Amino acid sequence: MPGIDLSMNLPPQPADADLDGRLARALAEVRAESGLAPYLTYQQPGGTGAERKAAAEWLGGMVADLAGGLTADRLILAPGTQPALFALLLAHAAPGDAILTEKLTYPGFKAAAAALGVALIGVEMDGEGMIPGALDRAARGGTAKIVYLTPTMQNPTTATMSADRRKRIAAVVRKRGLVLIEDDPYTFLAPGLPPISSFVPERSYFAASLSKAIAPGLRTSIVVAPDAAAAARCAALLRAVVQMSSPLMAAIATQWMRDGTAADLIKATRKETAARQTLARDALQGQDAIAHPAGLHVWLGLPNRWPAPRFVAHLGGRGLAVVTADAFATDAAPPNAIRLALGAARNQAQLARALAILAEALGEGATGDVIV
Ligand SMILES: Cc1ncc(COP(=O)(O)O)c(C=O)c1O
């Protein structure tokens, strides 16, 4: 049996979304407007003025609570949130500093911090993500100046902060004089909640990648900075990291924002994602599985008889790859859990096969020691 890899947290490619056709049409439209060759030159890091204006209008429409103060000069287009996070660390942290994060956090942020010699301090979480009182206590000593978090369908625990929780986190950010990096690629899948940044815009960066709701290959993230000067600094540091977005990809993303395709594709992702979550819920009944009905992934606690490394090796022997909690851990005691990236399956049939392998394995006991 060919392997099934549910380790990368991708959005599904819905069969009826016509991604191929839409890409071809976007290219034709960009070409009709200006020709394609101009997109082979260097461009301003952070996006052209027209792209930033289109992104500000589009993001303001998608995330209503941002709309008020969202001017084009406050935002940049980055080739993904990942290099933007690196640029923000360059802007606000130095080797030896510490940053506050959720106790389990996005591995790409761990990697960026490690590369810069910046330590992470994991803050306690509950079913809504980071706990404001725990953030307050952790920030009290003044060692850490930055808090990084993912408020919606948290990666990996799927926790989503209520509006009240967001307000309370913002109050701690302000009280302790922290810089907030709010990473919210899932906002487009579960809209309606105000960003934490909207309560404390003067101290916040809000990064809204299109990778999780449309496609990671677009390499497009919209990053909102506290003000125009901070956005310019972020763009300059982005140049140091990655020069600029691939101009053609930025042009396609902008075209899709302008002509409604981005919103259509997000709708298609939501529909396919909901169907996949239903499959997972049915297959994992009775298990310690946590998921958001609109989320791309499931967080699955394992029974004691299945230590995560052994369980993952067992699944690997059956052709299924998933990720264990240690990838996300900020300390040496990760929970006994795995993340299932439902969007990574090629289609629902493949996902159903993967879930059947998983359910069967959960029903079995761990047998003996693995000798390696
Ligand atoms: C929380 C979070 N932030 C950022 C990213 C990466 O986003 P991008 O593809 O825009 O670099 C991911 C991808 O896994 C993620 O889960």
Which CATH number does the domain housing residue 321 bear? 3.90.1150.10
Examine residue 156 and say whether the peptide bond preceding it is cis (omega within 30 degrees of 0).
Answer: yes
Which CATH number does the domain housing residue 159 bear? 3.40.640.10
Provide mean pLDDT across the span 26-38: 96
Residue 79 is part of which domain span? 36-259
Place 69 in a pLDDT band, splitting at 50, 70 and 90: confident
Q: How remote is the CA of residue 367 from the centroid of ligand 1, in Å?
A: 36
Asked if the structure places residue 370 within a domain, the reply is no
Residues 155 and 302 in one domain: no
Place 370 in a pLDDT band, splitting at 50, 70 and 90: very low
Nearest CA to ligand 1 atom 7: 81
- The pLDDT assigned to 162 comes to 98
Provide mean pLDDT across the span 11-28: 94
- The pLDDT assigned to 64 comes to 86
Name all residues whose Cβ lies below 6 A of ligand 1: 9, 80-82, 106, 108, 150, 155, 183, 185, 209, 211, 216, 221
Q: How remote is the CA of residue 294 from the centroid of ligand 1, in Å?
A: 17
Provide mean pLDDT across the span 324-346: 96
Task: Inform me whether the pLDDT recorded for 225 exceeds 50.
Answer: yes
Residues 163 and 304 in one domain: no
- The pLDDT assigned to 369 comes to 47
Task: Inform me whether the pLDDT recorded for 154 exceeds 80.
Answer: yes
Ligand 1 atom closest to the CA of 84, numbered from 1: 11
Q: CA torsion 87→91→96→99, rounded to 10°?
A: -80
Tell me the average pLDDT of the chain.
95
Q: What are phi and psi of 354, to 5 degrees?
A: -60, -40
Place 201 in a pLDDT band, splitting at 50, 70 and 90: very high
- The pLDDT assigned to 371 comes to 43
Task: Inform me whether the pLDDT recorded for 204 exceeds 90.
Answer: yes
Residues 50 and 185 in one domain: yes
- The pLDDT assigned to 335 comes to 97
Task: Inform me whether the pLDDT recorded for 360 exceeds 90.
Answer: yes
The answer to whether 66 touches 60, Cβ cutoff 8 Å, is yes
Q: Which of 259, 284, 301 is the last residue of a domain?
A: 259
Asked if the structure places residue 23 within a domain, the reply is no
Task: Inform me whether the pLDDT recorded for 372 exceeds 50.
Answer: no
Residues 222 and 144 in one domain: yes
Q: How remote is the CA of residue 288 from the centroid of ligand 1, in Å?
A: 25
Task: Inform me whether the pLDDT recorded for 77 exceeds 80.
Answer: yes
Q: How remote is the CA of residue 116 from the centroid of ligand 1, in Å?
A: 18
- The pLDDT assigned to 367 comes to 56
Q: Which of 200, 235, 259 is the last residue of a domain?
A: 259
Q: Which among 46, 48, 56 is positioned nearest to 77, based on CA atoms?
A: 46
Place 222 in a pLDDT band, splitting at 50, 70 and 90: very high
Nearest CA to ligand 1 atom 3: 183
Q: Which of 231, 259, 287 is the last residue of a domain?
A: 259
- The pLDDT assigned to 364 comes to 83
The tokens describing 41, both together, are 């030159």
Ligand 1 atom closest to the CA of 209, numbered from 1: 10
Q: Give the rounded percent of residues in the chain with a pLDDT score beyond 70.
A: 97
- Report the interhelical angle of 49-62 vs 247-259 (nearest 10°): 40
